[in-house]
Amino acid sequence: MKARRRSQLALTFLAVGAAACSSGNEGLSPGTSPDGGAGESGTGDIPPPCGPSSLAAGTFSLSFAGVDYGYLVHLPPSYDGTKRAPLVLNWHGFTSNAQQQELFSNFDPVADEEGFVVVYPNSPDASWNAGTCCGGAGRDDIGFARALVAEISSKACIDAKSIYSMGMSNGGFMSFRLGCEAADLFAAIAPVAGKIGVAGCQPARPIPLLAFHGTADTLVAYDTGALSPDMLTVPDTARKWADLDACTRGPDTILERGNVRCEAWSSCAGGASTTLCTIEGGGHCWPGQSLCPYGTSTADVDASRQIAAFFKSFKLP
């Protein structure tokens, strides 16, 4: 089955390079502020024991607001339904799907190491209503995200304080929108090749952000305001998020390796942080992948591995 999906992946958008490159990334933790603070916010009460877990790996469907969606579940080997596990939603890009995002981001091996339950949402029309990018006009995909988390949480032993969103391109826009409109549910977000696609973004609380973007991205421009209702460039978007998080320090360079530079804003409200990793000359790619359908990739940072480390640093208050 995996081999068949890899062959299909090579034929469509976001469909090249299933093997990730993880060399040269040891010690990088973009979510950790330069002064050493990890940013974890609060411990809260000890949750009650989990009931029987009925969640299984595989592909499933979910109807919400009269729309039929799909989703793919990946369970780490350590998951046995007795201990609460973190949950990650990993959103596919425009014209892509859940299976392709699973292979393109290569997040499953990292999730296996870290104990994440991963769910790959599948759009009914290969797009998400994330604002300016890229489809699903009028459809309540934010409501679907909430319904999907509720569905998974009803079947699995999920830590409600450790729910996260990541995604590529249109899925990156979707993660930004969830940060804007569902900060009560998601502890942190990590968009790749995305921007804020909605006007008037006002998260209900400071929400940690780790973003990756290439300067030569021809689909979601790095240095123009294209696809941003506020006409923000990618660096402007990071600065705006740092302002939303009320960060008082930064940007400080926390990594320079090859063509990658990561800058972080710290000393933020609620223990949050904002980090932008810029890939000089990078295309519309997933950092750490060996190939890229739109431009040049990089092996100088593994986005999936760093996203996992970032998520582990934050919980809902």
Query: What pTM value is reported for the model?
Result: 0.88
Q: What is the dihedral of CA 178, 184, 188, 192, to 10 degrees?
A: 0
pLDDT of residue 46: 67
| CA-to-CA dists, residue 173 to 56, 134, 279, angstroms | 28, 9, 18
Closest by CA position to 317, among listed 161, 164, 190: 161
Kind and range of the H or E element at 73? strand 67-74
pLDDT of residue 60: 98
Q: 208 in a domain, yes or no?
A: yes
Per-residue model confidence as pLDDT tens digits over 81-109: 999 999 999 999 999 999 999 999 999 99
Q: What is the CATH number of the domain that holds 76?
A: 3.40.50.1820
pLDDT of residue 232: 97
Residue of 268 and 293 predicted with greater confidence: 268
pLDDT of residue 1: 43
Q: 37 in a domain, yes or no?
A: no
* CA 239, chain centre distance (Å): 19
Report, as an integer, the average pLDDT of 268-285.
98
Per-residue model confidence as pLDDT tens digits over 152-197: 999 999 999 999 999 999 999 999 999 999 999 999 999 999 999 9
Q: 118 in a domain, yes or no?
A: yes
Per-residue model confidence as pLDDT tens digits over 214-262: 999 999 999 999 999 999 999 999 999 999 999 999 999 999 999 999 9
Instruction: Specify whether the CB–CB gap between 123 and 167 falls below 8 A.
Output: no
| CA-to-CA dists, residue 221 to 92, 224, 256, 307, angstroms | 19, 6, 22, 22
Closest by CA position to 177, among listed 62, 91, 279: 91
Query: Domain count of the chain?
Result: 1
Q: What angle do CA 120, 50, 311 make, to 5 degrees?
A: 45
Q: 122 in a domain, yes or no?
A: yes
Residue of 203 and 42 predicted with greater confidence: 203
Helix (H, G, I), strand (E, B) or coil at 90: strand
Q: 49 in a domain, yes or no?
A: no
Token output for 30: 């973009």
Mean pLDDT across the chain: 88
pLDDT of residue 5: 43
Closest by CA position to 162, among listed 138, 186, 145, 183: 186
Instruction: Specify whether the CB–CB gap between 265 and 285 falls below 8 A.
Output: no
User: Per DSSP, what are the bridge partners of residue 8?
Assistant: none
Token output for 118: 């991963």
Q: 24 in a domain, yes or no?
A: no
Give 291's pLDDT tier (boundaries 50, 70, 90). Answer: confident
Q: 21 in a domain, yes or no?
A: no
Residue numbers of the domain that contains 303: 57-312
Whether 41 has a pLDDT exceeding 90, the answer reads no
Whether 127 has a pLDDT exceeding 50, the answer reads yes
DSSP state of 49: P
Q: 50 in a domain, yes or no?
A: no
Instruction: Specify whether the CB–CB gap between 215 and 282 falls below 8 A.
Output: yes
pLDDT of residue 112: 98
pLDDT of residue 34: 32
